[in-house]
Amino acid sequence: MKKITEANLILILGDQLSLDNPALRDARPGMDLILMAEVREEATYVRHNRHKIALIFSAMRHFRKVLRERGFTVRYREFAEGVESLGQAVKEVDKSEYARLVVCEPGEYRLLIAMAEWRSAYGIDVEIRDDSRFLCSTAEFKAWADGHKHLRMEFFYRTMRKRYRKWGRIQFFPKLKLIGSDPFFVT
């Protein structure tokens, strides 16, 4: 089936609420469609404090507002709508509205596997982008692990410390500015 549009469907997960999200890297306001969903599977597969879930959903709704203020079209599925999974949320978007699905690599392997299967299950082009929020990509870790019989994190951490031994190469929260001398009050 020929696509009518060249727009992307961009899926934003509840733990990826940042304008620096790799899935948003080349997003086009007014053209691309952003999908966010409060899904039952993600809220219940591991036992969570209900306040934590409420906080995540609240953050998602605030991020939706930010995206809309920047001119993006956001399709937002609330928990009360009964969406069971992220796959269902993606599947329910009309395929004629987008040419491909773009998503940042999830932090959970089970989600990564599910997303990789969407291509064949739903007949859509899926681009899973590396998550730039970490100091090391999954591919870099796999390359390191390939030569080791025993995967001990202390050995991997040692490698990472050597790479970043000069603290000047890592900038934690570079956009935050201290107010006075108290590190807990920032802008």
- pLDDT at residue 29 greater than cutoff 80: yes
**pLDDT band at residue 105 using 50, 70 and 90 as cut-offs:** very high
- pLDDT at residue 67 greater than cutoff 50: yes
Q: Is the Cβ–Cβ distance between 173 and 133 less than 8 Å?
A: no
User: The pTM is what?
Assistant: 0.79
- Tell me the C-alpha distance between 32 and 129, whole Å: 16
- pLDDT at residue 19 greater than cutoff 60: yes
**pLDDT band at residue 149 using 50, 70 and 90 as cut-offs:** confident
- pLDDT at residue 126 greater than cutoff 70: yes
- Tell me the C-alpha distance between 31 and 8, whole Å: 8
- pLDDT at residue 1 greater than cutoff 50: no
The pLDDT, as a whole number, for residue 164 is 75
Instruction: Delineate the domains of the chain, giving CATH numbers in brackets.
Output: 8-129 (3.40.50.620), 138-186 (no CATH)
List, in order, residues 6 or more apart from 179 with CB less than 8 Å away.
185, 186, 187
Nearest to 91, CA basis, from 102, 101, 78: 101
127 token code pair? 């681009």
59 token code pair? 């953050």
**pLDDT band at residue 107 using 50, 70 and 90 as cut-offs:** confident
- Tell me the C-alpha distance between 125 and 119, whole Å: 6
